Amino acid sequence: MLGTRDVRHRARFEDVRGPGFSPLNVVLALVLGGVIVFSFQQSRVSIFEPFDPRNVRSVTRFVSGLFPPALAPDFLGAIGGLLLETIWISIAGTTLAFLLAVPLASGAMRSRGEESSRASLGTVGWLIRWLGYGISRTVLNVARAIPELVWALIFVVAVGLGPFAGVLALAAHSAGILGKLYAELLESVDQRIVESARATGASEGAVTLLARIPMALPVLLSYTLFRWECNMRAATVLGFVGAGGIGTQLSISMKLFQYNEVLTLALAILLLVTLVDIVGGIARARVLDAPTIAACEPSQRQGVVQRVVAFFGRGDG
């Protein structure tokens, strides 16, 4: 006969054991497996193709042409200039993307609470708010759906060859990504803090500026730095379509079959990306470890919000 303790343990085990057999789960698993197999088939994936004699000869010719790497002083000097150009493109593109993403994220953020209801805003104000939300989301979706290389092709036609086209391409695509991330991060801020800020009489703009952003600031900065790292990698290949950076020389060397130059360029890109990863990691660690309003007690948070809103003026804007 089981004791009370044994019964409790058995009940707890049955609770965590999970749901029983479900025919629907089996069907979903079979469908998923079929989709995966069909995807490999339609993509013509083959484990034997790399070992085809023709492909083996091509790879052997390519690898043998990589050595020794090109180390001529004039070539290394040109690489240094292209690396700097790649850095400037990534920084300018990320900065412009940030400036575009902030207003788009503000419009694409789904407001919560009684103050954002139709009864509070009125029919006209409520419709305007949701129209702005739909437009902002659409712009972010379009910007994010088009890859950087396609944007680069568009801007090469619009502004001509050179780094400016690369800056615009990175800015357009990254604005779509950062805007969506910013909007969803600001939406996820503790609603109690938002309501505390609203209770002081602050406008929605002041609530976003003084409550949402301080709470989400470490993660916002972390995502922005990570996007800069991604843009650095993307900037290295935009030169393939004439958008500046070290990708321009990489494309030329590949077309001329100068594989020893390709190896040198690949090593330079690897060094650049590694340095950017280190710098970005240090910056993110400092940002995430920095004290923010999120580290305060609830009563302290409300006091901070109230004092800052009082400084800017109650209910203005």
Task: Show the 3-state SS of the chain.
Answer: CCCHHHHHHHHHHHHHCCCCCCHHHHHHHHHHHHHHHHHHHHCCCCCCHHHCHHHHHHHHHHHHHCCCCCCCHHHHHHHHHHHHHHHHHHHHHHHHHHHHHHHHHHHHCCCCCHHHCHHHHHHHHHHHHHHHHHHHHHHHHHHHHCCHHHHHHHHHHHHCCCHHHHHHHHHHHHHHHHHHHHHHHHHCCCHHHHHHHHHCCCCHHHHHHHHHHHHHHHHHHHHHHHHHHHHHHHHCCHHHHCCCCHHHHHHHHHHCCCHHHHHHHHHHHHHHHHHHHHHHHHHHHHHHHCCCHHHCCHHHHHHHHHHHHHHHCCCCC
pLDDT at 170: 95
10-26 pLDDT per residue, tens: 545 444 455 556 888 89
Report residue 314's pLDDT band, with 50, 70 and 90 as the boundaries: very low
Locate the domains of the chain by residue range. Answer: 75-312
Q: Answer with the residue of higher pLDDT: 159 or 210.
A: 159
The proportion of the chain whose per-residue pLDDT surpasses 70, expressed as a percent, equals 79
CATH class held by domain 75-312 = mainly alpha
pLDDT at 16: 46
pLDDT at 277: 82
Among 70-84, 112-126, 153-167, 297-311, which is the least confidently predicted range?
A: 297-311
208-238 pLDDT per residue, tens: 787 888 888 888 888 898 899 899 889 888 8
Mean pLDDT over the full length of the chain? 82
- Judged against a pLDDT cut of 80, whether residue 107 lies above it is answered with yes
Among 121-135, 143-157, 179-193, which is the least confidently predicted range?
A: 121-135
